[in-house]
Amino acid sequence: MLKKVKVTILAENRVTDANLLAEQGQSILVETDQGTILFDVGQTDAFIHNARQMKVDLSKVNKVILSHGHYDHTGGLPALCNAVKTIDVVCHPALINKKFRIYAEGRKEIGVPWEKKELEHAGAHFVFKTHAYEVLPDIWISGEIPRNTAYEKIDETYQQRVSDSYIHDEIHDDMSLILVSERGLIVLLGCGHAGPINSIRHAMRITRTKSVHAVMGGMHLSNAPEDKIEHIVNNLYQINPDILVPLHCTGFHAINRMFIKFAERVKLMNVGDSFEL
């Protein structure tokens, strides 16, 4: 089990420090006694700027984990390659599929804004995984997350292109990062497209761990209906994590419901903030 864990937000939608940058996206640095992981790389090079301002040395990163193939979690990868030259990038093979979303004004591409060959030439070594995989000792990626809850479904507006057809994207590439610590699991979510409850229960199942210390990241509830938010908040209460850190796409209403249910256990963090065991 991990004895030392420090989690620092390098990119996020909110910022309070005038020297740091916010953006629609997420990037989280995870430092442990077994190694250092970068979970997602935001939309642009903002996380590089923030790391430099915070005097964070990204050359110490052992692996990059990409949670899923949307631009606001993958767009900064070229900037990282320029900064560190060579890096292992662990993700689902479907991450590089062409992804879209339907809006009132039409279909918009929302997938990764780079080409795999260009990134490989720049120093990225892609490691594709579909199942749970131990990246470093006691640090796991979830692999594909089973969709076992009726209230956590992928919106029909998400699509991917297969040959010349646009089909519903179930976002099977959505994966979480799981840290097995002395205080329980720390589960990091990108957008939580597979559902935060599905993701946490899957993490507990694959690690055979019953206690959850912290859940951190986007939960994709910004525009969710009230009943879905209530289901998720109530199930989070049953899981009973010590700390909740809602970020990115969780949304004000869902965060408010979490505050009502969990009180001081909810931590509203911004770019530059961190917590550690």
What is the residue-averaged pLDDT of the chain? 97
**pLDDT per residue over 204-243, tens digit each?**
999 999 999 999 999 999 999 999 999 999 999 999 999 9
Rounded percentage of the chain residues whose pLDDT exceeds 70:
100
Each domain of the chain, given as residue ranges in start order, spans 5-276
Rounded percentage of the chain residues whose pLDDT exceeds 90:
98
pLDDT, position 157 = 96
Q: What is the 3-state secondary structure (H, E, C) of the chain?
A: CECCEEEEEEECCCCCCCCCCCCCCCEEEEEECCEEEEECCCCCCHHHHHHHHCCCCHHHCCEEECCCCCHHHHCCHHHHHHHHCCEEEEECHHHHCCEEEEECCEEEECCCCCCHHHHHHHCEEEEECCCCEEEECCEEECCCCCCCCCCCCCCCCEEEEECCEEEECCCCCCCCEEEEECCEEEEEECCCCCCHHHHHHHHHHHHCCCCEEEEEEECCCCCCCHHHHHHHHHHHHHHCCCEEEEECCCCHHHHHHHHHHHHHHECCCCCCCEEEC
CATH 3.60.15.10 fits 5-276, yes or no: yes
pTM of model > 0.95: yes
CA-to-CA distance for 169 and 234, rounded, in angstroms?
27
**pLDDT per residue over 67-117, tens digit each?**
999 999 999 999 999 999 899 999 999 999 999 999 999 999 999 999 999
pLDDT, position 164 = 87
**pLDDT per residue over 153-166, tens digit each?**
999 999 999 888 99
- The tokens describing 245, both together, are 């850190």
CA dihedral 252, 265, 36, 77 (to 10 degrees): 0
Report, as an integer, the average pLDDT of 144-154. 96
pLDDT, position 149 = 96
